């Protein structure tokens, strides 16, 4: 009887020792599968025109850093021409939800015609996504920040804000727009930010958003003031060649080439901007 008890106890100890390793293997396999699926979408022919910018935007590494999973509800802020949309929408279509989110139009320093076009975003954008992906428009949702339905509050796992914080700062929209995002997020939901990065000692007069650049400490302090904690940051989208001090701001660099053909080869050699990549968590 004692021998049987000892053998049983030994078996339980052995199982306890091996279970975590097995769980870790399963977890690693799951991450590898998600990464493989994401890589397949990134390499799809629908992105033939987008892929030239992958060397600067690192979509696979950035989205994995943000923790994007196919079962998540993910909102992309100001999706514009759909560069990230053509990755996120098909990745989330089967088991998750992709949401396009754009500015509340009224406070924008834009002509009335532009504001009216933004008001049409919720109706138009799902059709754009359908055209880009070949999937039904009914799979996708879009909102302006001033027209978020009550049922959407607390439903979003992650909001991605690519290269847009400088506009929110310079147009005095950051407080109101981030508050809307916070309301949309689940408890513990995340905001992932990619932003043109000023040097740490850049004067505020240059790094206030009007030149496209912000200091990292400015973004972190602001997000903390809005009830978010910094989870982690990455150098995935760093570019040490970018001096971040151009008279014409970040738009001097590609793809804009704000100075036209003047020194174009020089700016092409620098490449796109140096960028911070930050992940924040909604705090209670």
Q: How confident is the model at residue 3 (pLDDT cuts 50, 70, 90)?
A: very low
pLDDT in tens, 236-276: 999 999 999 999 999 999 999 999 999 999 999 999 999 99
Residue 151 phi/psi, 5-degree rounding, is -70, -15
Exposure b/e, 46-60, CB count within 10 A at least 16 = b: ebeebeebeebbbbb
Smallest CA-to-CA distance from 243 within 194, 209, 198 is with 198
Q: Which two tokens stand for residue 244?
A: 């971040």
Q: Which CATH superfamily is domain 51-282 in?
A: Vaccinia Virus protein VP39 (3.40.50.150)
In Å, how far are 26, 39, 57, 61 from 31, measured between CA atoms?
A: 9, 12, 21, 13
Peptide bond connecting 255 to the previous residue in cis, omega within 30 degrees of 0: yes
Give the chain's radius of gyration (CA, Å).
Answer: 22
Q: Which two tokens stand for residue 213?
A: 């650049």
**CA-based diameter of the chain, in Å?**
89
pLDDT reported for residue 262: 97
How does the average pLDDT of the chain come out, rounded?
Answer: 92
pLDDT in tens, 141-190: 999 999 999 999 999 999 999 999 999 999 999 999 999 999 999 999 99
What is the percentage of the chain residues whose pLDDT exceeds 90? 87
Smallest CA-to-CA distance from 189 within 64, 37, 67 is with 67
**Residue 45 half-sphere exposure toward CB, CA atoms < 13 A:** 1
Pairing of β 156-162 and β 228-234: unpaired
Are the beta carbons of 88 and 98 closer than 8 angstroms? yes
CA distance linking residue 38 with residue 24, whole number of Å = 21
Are the beta carbons of 120 and 127 closer than 8 angstroms? no
All residues at 6 or more sequence positions from 167 whose CB lies less than 8 Å from its CB, including other chains: 78, 173, 209
CA distance linking residue 268 with residue 265, whole number of Å = 5
pLDDT in tens, 112-141: 999 999 999 999 999 999 999 999 999 999
Beta bridge partners of 143: 101
Q: Which two tokens stand for residue 191?
A: 């905001």
CA distance linking residue 108 with residue 100, whole number of Å = 18
CA distance linking residue 182 with residue 252, whole number of Å = 33
CA distance linking residue 54 with residue 213, whole number of Å = 20
């Amino acid at each position: 009887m004692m021998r049987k008890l000892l053998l049983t106890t030994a078996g339980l100890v052995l199982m306890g020792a091996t279970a975590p390793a097995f769980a870790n293997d399963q977890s690693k396999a799951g991450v590898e599968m998600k990464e493989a699926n994401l890589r397949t979408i990134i390499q799809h022919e629908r992105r033939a025109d987008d892929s030239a910018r992958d060397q600067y935007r690192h979509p696979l590494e950035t989205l994995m850093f943000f923790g994007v999973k196919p079962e998540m509800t993910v909102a992309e802020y100001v999706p514009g021409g759909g560069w990230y949309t053509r990755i996120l929408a098909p990745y989330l279509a089967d088991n998750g939800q992709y949401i396009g989110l754009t500015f509340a139009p009224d406070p924008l320093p834009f002509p009335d015609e532009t504001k009216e076009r933004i008001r049409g975003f919720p109706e138009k954008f799902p059709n754009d996504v359908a055209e880009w992906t070949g999937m039904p428009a009914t799979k996708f949702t879009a909102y302006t920040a001033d027209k978020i339905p009550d049922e959407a509050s607390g439903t979003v796992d992650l909001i991605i804000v690519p290269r847009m914080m400088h506009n929110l700062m310079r147009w005095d929209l950051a407080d109101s727009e981030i508050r809307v995002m916070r309301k949309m997020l689940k408890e513990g939901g995340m905001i992932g930010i990619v932003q043109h990065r000023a040097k740490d000692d850049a004067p505020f007069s240059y790094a206030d958003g009007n030149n496209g650049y912000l200091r990292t400490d400015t973004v972190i302090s602001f997000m903390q003031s809005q009830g978010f904690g910094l989870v982690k940051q990455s150098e995935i989208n760093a570019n040490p060649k970018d001096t971040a001090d151009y008279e014409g701001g970040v738009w001097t660099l590609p793809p804009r080439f704000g100075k036209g053909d003047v020194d174009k080869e020089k700016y092409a050699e620098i490449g796109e901007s140096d960028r911070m990549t930050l992940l924040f968590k909604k705090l209670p």
